[in-house]
Amino acid sequence: MTDRVLKLPPEQQAFRDKCFHPSGTFVEFPKEEVEQSIPERFEKIVRLYPQRAAAKTRDHSFTYAALNQKANRIARAILERRGQGSEPIALLFEHGIEVIAAILGVLKASKFYVALDRSLPQKRNAYILEDSQAGLIVTNNRNVDRARALNNDARIVLNVDETDESFSADSPSLSVSADRLVAIRYTSGFTGEPRGVVETHENVLSSVRFRAHKMRTCPDDRLSLLHSVSFGSAYTHLFQSLLNGASLFPFDIKSEGIHRLARWLKEEQITIFHSSPAVFRQLADSLSGQERFPNLRLILLSGAAITQLDFDLYKKNFAPEASLEIGMGSTEARGICSAVVDHTFSFPKEGAPVGYPRQGNKIFLLDENGQEVGPNQVGEIAVKSRNLNPGYWRRPDLTSDKFLPDPSGGDERIYLTGDLGRILPDGFLIHLGRKDSQVKIRGYRIEIAEIERALLEHPQVKDAGVVAWDREPAEKYLVAYVVVRRDLAPMIDELRDFVRTKLPDYMMPSAFVFLESLPLTNGKLDRSALPMPNHKRPDLSHAYVQARNEIEEILLQLWEEILDLRPIGIHDNFFDLGGHSLAATRVVSQVIKRFQLELPLQSLFAAPTIAEMAAVIQAHRGKHLSEERLVRMLAELESMTEEEAQSLLDEESGKLNRGD
């Protein structure tokens, strides 16, 4: 590998040079402060800006001084229960300010955290708890029951809402070295189970410093926080704000709705907006074209490769004064490369643009033998840097497979991303997809092996493979191929229910195909030889029943069109047919358009069969919508994110299970 220091082209340097807040109050982040701890840097910011807003939601607002005091009390409560010493602490909160205070409290107690996601199945969170070996779960009143359900005799549950106010609000002032761990971040695992990546204070501070200088983050900036802190892109923005004196604005899309996002951006005068491309598309779709965002100076899209559509939506809906940052990163390597562009950027015809290497990173493309490929050739993207995270939690074997030593004997390491790319003559990287079986489904990064592992846990499944097929441009769906033991094949709905207890909704296969054996090449599954699924009704545990009246016939046609499946029976469950939460919103939207009835959305989400949905519609006949109400309801449905839709489904499912 030939090391070379990449010099940014003049136009890219010009973009970065103009990336200033209009107030011009950017303050340098000293290099020596990377070699300390996050609490030290945070407490310096608290001393500089004690009364400045640190974090604000619709219901709560904390100054830096108040957030620091809350974090100090949490730290002391943790120390009382666990004593001093580095160890993992699990966090289970909803999206908001409390989880931010808990993160700071864990770090002030000289420990590191594992953020659980309350939207995940209980078994997945239980696995993360067990693998991380966290001995304490920190939570609040809203999540304490979930935490106790995960608990066992080896763990303690700390409810911060019951924390004794007698705990001192002064900092514990514990010494924490820069090489101590900050967090374990779990991602979908290439081994078939979630894997934990560890990072240090120095890793985080190095990234914060780099981004502070690149974005010119200053105390007058107001940053959005849309995603759960269990996602790497979310916590990056969190520290980017709080370690530079800016204000952080968590926005819960699940409860607030995507339709409120544009108004919120204007009301809160957000200057730096961070989003996944999927959410950005939904935001753009909700705009009328007349909106103006005078305070917005930078839009950052991460978490998935952007498309030509994303760039076109940016140009259409946002002024040239709001720059667009694109890039590529991973939990293991953090920020790998990026670029700041405006309306004049030429989007490549093939692949996704991800920019130039981050300062301190060197990018190589390697062939199957680990040799560097030549110009304009495709290869696996490898990153050589001192800024890589240490590796995988309790998995030295995986760490040695993915992190390679510097062949020249230096102190840098090389991380093999598993992504394919091509480097342009000026050093700009184009992303060309995954080398392995990792795929993107509706914006979620999914590891195929994890789904296959869940299928293999069923007692009647002998072998399994999963493939992501293209339904239409930019939309994929998962198909599971199953070989059963003997002749005792489980029904599709039984198998789906089994997998649903182990995986999130977005990882659920849309179709299941039973085979006598899986096609193999050199002992490995030949995915290209797997047959495409047909569009016929799967074998379910109940008989097919055709439509009996006009309403059921109309619904049947809607379902068949949206699910691309025929024939559908009136007692078939929407989700057993491969439907997901976003597809459910399309059905509900079409029902409201067709029948124009005044009825709660939840009543339709709670009716997963045609017969049940027809009964709901019949019961509401005569309650017609006004034109204004119809437009409002359709706008709410059409802008609904998958997380929002799933939240409604989960809520109704919970009511049914409780007998409400």
Residue 556 has what pLDDT? 87
Domain ranges of the chain: 438-529, 550-658
Count other C-beta atoms under 10 Å from residue 637's C-beta: 23
* Res 216 pLDDT > 50: yes
Q: Among 43-57, 59-73, 349-363, which stretch is predicted with the lowest mean pLDDT?
A: 349-363
Tokens of 504: 């999130």
Average pLDDT over residues 302-308: 79
Average pLDDT over residues 244-273: 92
List C-alpha distances in Å: 502 to 23, 150, 198, 476. Answer: 50, 14, 24, 21
Residue 468 has what pLDDT? 85
* Res 522 pLDDT > 50: no
Residue 570 has what pLDDT? 86
Tokens of 433: 């997809």
Tens-digit pLDDT profile for residues 18-39: 777 888 788 899 999 999 999 9
Residue partners of 213: CB distance under 8 A and separation at least 6:
28, 29
Q: CB–CB of 378/365 below 8 Å?
A: yes
* Res 119 pLDDT > 90: no
Residue partners of 454: CB distance under 8 A and separation at least 6:
499, 502, 503
pLDDT-derived band of residue 517, with 50, 70 and 90 as boundaries? confident
pLDDT-derived band of residue 653, with 50, 70 and 90 as boundaries? very low
The percent of the chain in helix, strand and coil, each rounded to the nearest 5, is: 35, 25, 40
List the beta strands (DSSP E) in 310-428.
323-330, 334-341, 352-357, 362-366, 379-385, 391-392, 403-405, 413-423
Closest listed residue to residue 509, CA positions, set 599, 607, 578: 578
* Res 642 pLDDT > 60: no
* Res 190 pLDDT > 50: no
Higher-confidence residue of 568 and 395: namely 395
Residue 37 has what pLDDT? 97
Tokens of 520: 């193999």
Residue 54 has what pLDDT? 98
Count other C-beta atoms under 10 Å from residue 642's C-beta: 23
Residue 504 has what pLDDT? 82
Q: Among 198-212, 237-251, 461-475, 596-610, which stretch is predicted with the lowest mean pLDDT?
A: 596-610
Residue 23 has what pLDDT? 85
CA angle, residues 434, 435, 438, in degrees to nearest 5: 50
Q: CB–CB of 212/187 below 8 Å?
A: no
Q: How far apart are the first and last CA of the chain?
A: 64
Higher-confidence residue of 476 and 129: namely 129
Secondary structure of 512-532 in the HEC alphabet? EEECCCCCEECCEECHHHCCC
Residue 540 has what pLDDT? 73
Residue 656 has what pLDDT? 41
* Res 654 pLDDT > 80: no
CA distance 554 to 548: 11
Percentage of the chain exceeding pLDDT 90: 43
Average pLDDT over residues 339-365: 91
Closest listed residue to residue 650, CA positions, set 119, 230, 255, 146: 119
* Res 191 pLDDT > 50: no
Q: Which element (helix H / strand E) includes 134?
A: none
Tens-digit pLDDT profile for residues 72-111: 999 999 999 999 999 999 999 998 999 999 999 999 999 9
Residue 96 has what pLDDT? 92
Phi, psi of 90 (to 5 degrees): -85, 145
CA distance 616 to 639: 23
Is 260 exposed, middle or buried (CB count within 10 Å of its CB: 0-12, 13-18, 19+)? middle
CATH number of 438-529: 3.30.300.30
* Res 55 pLDDT > 90: yes
* Res 660 pLDDT > 50: no
State the sign of the Cα–Cα–Cα–Cα dihedral 628, 631, 636, 637. positive
Percentage of the chain exceeding pLDDT 70: 85
Model confidence, pTM:
0.71
Tokens of 268: 């809160």
Q: Which element (helix H / strand E) includes 70?
A: helix 64-82
Phi, psi of 274 (to 5 degrees): -115, 130
Q: Which residues make beta-bridge pairs with 329? A: 335
The DSSP bridge pattern shows strands 136-139 and 88-92 to be parallel
Higher-confidence residue of 163 and 387: namely 387
CATH of 550-658, one of 3.40.640.10, 3.65.10.10, 1.10.1200.10, 1.20.870.10: 1.10.1200.10
Residue 657 has what pLDDT? 43
Tens-digit pLDDT profile for residues 589-626: 777 778 776 655 566 567 888 898 888 888 777 666 66
Q: CB–CB of 337/355 below 8 Å?
A: yes
CA distance 446 to 458: 20
Query: Whole-number mean pLDDT of the chain?
Result: 84
